[in-house]
Amino acid sequence: MNANTDIDNIDRPRTVAHIHKGQATSDGAGVRLVRMLGTAQLPDLDPFLMLDAFGSDKPGDYIAGFPDHPHRGFETVTYMLDGRMRHRDNHGHEGLLGPGSVQWMSAGRGIVHSEMPEQLEGLMRGFQLWLNLPARDKMSAPRYQEYAAEQIPVFAPSAGVRVKVIAGRLGDIVGVIEQPATDPVYLDAALDAGAEIALPVPPGHSAFVHVYEGAAQVHGTRVAASELAVLNDGDGVRVTGGDTVTRLLLIAGRPLREPVARHGPFVMNTQAELVQAFNDYRAGRF
Ligand code: FE2
């Protein structure tokens, strides 16, 4: 593995197009979170529909969890940093998400599931990303890709740089998630003070950086903690850590360029398909 290969291969570094602060809100049965994407200011970024960041050591902020609710037509990606969350669905699938684990769920034609904290105290921290499916996959069978922390490969090209490769490719390291429709990149990078890395991102993909600890320079533009920087096109991004340890997500995906009809937990292409989704859910056909 030669880290410089990646760095040298970036001919058109992506610059920051705009920076967004999240919007504090609550969801589920009253889980406090910060919506980074899916807000009035940044409604979506094709193929991405939403990014929620949750993080609190106050049980009252998370203990109510997300009781039974449906999804159809897209994918939910839950990435835990701290704490434990149990999920159960109406197809008999159940699992426990621990620190550093990822669950990439393709809801397809429909599931009803719950996502509940498996702890009564302590820190609960992580992210949920909503990623659209193309029309041809919206009514496919539900599918899960689940990986524990130790199954996710780490790219550590130099001292002070550590990147968990959940999806996408860094040099010889290939992420664990496969999703050919949107060819996603999902990286969790930790940079010591002043450390630098160049991360390849396929040209044409929508891409953003979300800093969640410290502050980064993204091709010379400062992005602070709890900010999301949408990137212009290019073949990669150069990131430099700030004065302390910086932790950030780099997320990218191929745009679908299809009409989006969206209401709550249903994301389809047309209004008629949304009505069908409601009817199917109410009739117990999920
Ligand atoms: Fe859900």
Domain of 253, CATH number, reads: 2.60.120.10
Distance 115 CA to ligand 1 centre (A): 7
Distance 125 CA to ligand 1 centre (A): 16
Give how many domains the chain has, as a whole number: 1
Beta bridge partners of 85: 97, 117
Distance 69 CA to ligand 1 centre (A): 6
For residue 50, give the H/E element and its range: strand 48-56
Distance 143 CA to ligand 1 centre (A): 14
Distance 144 CA to ligand 1 centre (A): 13
CA distance linking residue 251 with residue 51, whole number of Å: 10
CA distance linking residue 257 with residue 255, whole number of Å: 6
DSSP strand pairing (169-170 vs 85-89): unpaired
Residue 146 lies in a domain: yes
- Provide the pLDDT for residue 1: 35
Distance 71 CA to ligand 1 centre (A): 7
Distance 67 CA to ligand 1 centre (A): 9
> How many beta carbons lie within 10 A of that of residue 283, not counting itself?
8
What the block records as the tokens of 8 is 């040298």
CA distance linking residue 129 with residue 44, whole number of Å: 11
Enter the DSSP assignment of 39.
Answer: S
> How many beta carbons lie within 10 A of that of residue 163, not counting itself?
23
Cα dihedral value 9, 12, 14, 17, nearest 10: 180
Cα-flanking dihedrals φ and ψ of residue 8, to 5°?
-70, -25
- Provide the pLDDT for residue 4: 37
Q: Hunting for tokens 């193929």 — which residue is that?
A: 47
Residue 46 lies in a domain: yes
Contact by Cβ (8 Å): 201, 250 = yes
Distance 130 CA to ligand 1 centre (A): 10
Tell me which residue range forms the domain holding 108.
Answer: 6-282
Residue 93 lies in a domain: yes
Alpha-carbon torsion 260, 116, 163, 35, what sign?
positive
Distance 105 CA to ligand 1 centre (A): 9
From first CA to last CA, the distance across the chain in angstroms is: 45
Distance 169 CA to ligand 1 centre (A): 27
Distance 76 CA to ligand 1 centre (A): 7
- Provide the pLDDT for residue 171: 87
CA distance linking residue 97 with residue 112, whole number of Å: 18
Residue 256 lies in a domain: yes
CA distance linking residue 174 with residue 222, whole number of Å: 29
- What amino acid is encoded at 253 in this protein? G
pTM of the model: 0.96
206-213 sheet: strands from edge to edge: 16-21, 227-231, 206-213, 246-253, 185-191, 161-167, 154-155
Residue 1 lies in a domain: no
Nearest to 155 by CA among 193, 129, 186: 186
pLDDT tens across the length of the chain (286 residues):
333 335 557 999 999 999 999 999 999 999 999 999 999 999 999 999 999 999 999 999 999 999 999 999 999 999 999 999 999 999 999 999 999 999 999 999 999 999 999 999 999 999 999 999 999 999 999 999 999 999 999 999 888 999 999 999 998 999 999 999 999 999 999 999 999 999 999 999 999 999 999 999 999 999 999 999 999 999 999 999 999 999 999 999 999 999 999 999 999 999 999 999 999 999 999 9
